[in-house]
Amino acid sequence: MESKQNYQLDRERIPQHVAIVMDGNGRWAKKRGLPRLAGHNAGMEALKEIVKRSDVLGVKYLTVYAFSTENWKRPVEEVSGIFKLLIVYMKKELDELHANNVKVKIFGDYSRLPKESIDALETALEKTKNNTGLTFNIALNYGGRDEIMRAVRRLAAECCDGQLTAEQLTEDMVSDRLYTGGIPDPEVVIRTSGELRLSNFLLWQSAYSEFVFTDVLWPDFSPEEYERCIAEFQGRKRRYGGV
């Protein structure tokens, strides 16, 4: 992997939309003999810095994978702790996010979360809904296949109602009915902790995204490492199936 000292970030070519799979909280905690929740807490601190750096760099959309539809399989104590940390994060950071013109959006069905978590999220959504700076998308109880199925069901219902015919369906119609409707696809998807997979994240939207993988565990993912990943993306030649 390219060393941190060697990257050259071109601030004139910052991607509009960056997506991140924040992985490695549990391993970070285990390496230190700490409970897994300590890793999630450290991960929240890392997230705060990455949101700030995204804003400074001029990223228009930042989408982070916070909790997947599969994460419910984790121990109850860990899941409960994650949602409590989410409440703490929102209450602690909301005023600063709003002051910096950041718009918060949620991708996923957050209705399953505890009421206090839902209340914290909806307060953030309402307070920042008219902001025009960085759009901060939090994928929460999110799964890429579930998202696509929801879009397909909506289109099927519209066909059954006579609003559309099967022959009229287009890719754009599917895209418009995803959580990301109206948002450009991510140019780059970053995954931390050395894992080399998407894990059901933005499956439709990442069809032509560039992937950047780093061995750094999420709690250690610094703004400098973030910039290095973007610089690595900038060094790619995007062909979109061409030559």
Q: Which residues are catalytic?
A: 23, 71
> pLDDT value at position 242?
64
Band (2; pLDDT cuts 50, 70, 90): very low
Boundaries of every domain in the chain: 12-146+185-234
Sheet holding 17-21, edge to edge: 103-107, 135-142, 61-68, 17-21, 188-191, 210-213
Degrees to nearest 5, angle at CA 173 with 170 and 175: 110
Q: With the C-alpha atoms ordered 190, 228, 63, 242, is the resulting torsion angle positive or negative? A: negative
Band (7; pLDDT cuts 50, 70, 90): confident
Q: Please write the tens of the pLDDT for every residue from 9-62.
A: 999 999 999 999 999 999 999 999 999 999 999 999 999 999 999 999 999 999
Band (243; pLDDT cuts 50, 70, 90): low
The tokens of 121 are what?
A: 């999220």
pLDDT at residue 1 above 80? no
Span between the terminal Cα atoms of the chain, in Å: 26
Q: Average pLDDT of 130-155?
A: 97
pLDDT at residue 113 above 50? yes
> Could you give phi then psi for residue 233, rounded to 5 degrees?
-60, -40
Strand partners, 211: 189
Q: Please write the tens of the pLDDT for every residue from 195-239.
A: 999 999 999 999 999 999 999 999 999 999 999 999 999 999 887
Which numeric CATH code is attached to 12-146+185-234? 3.40.1180.10
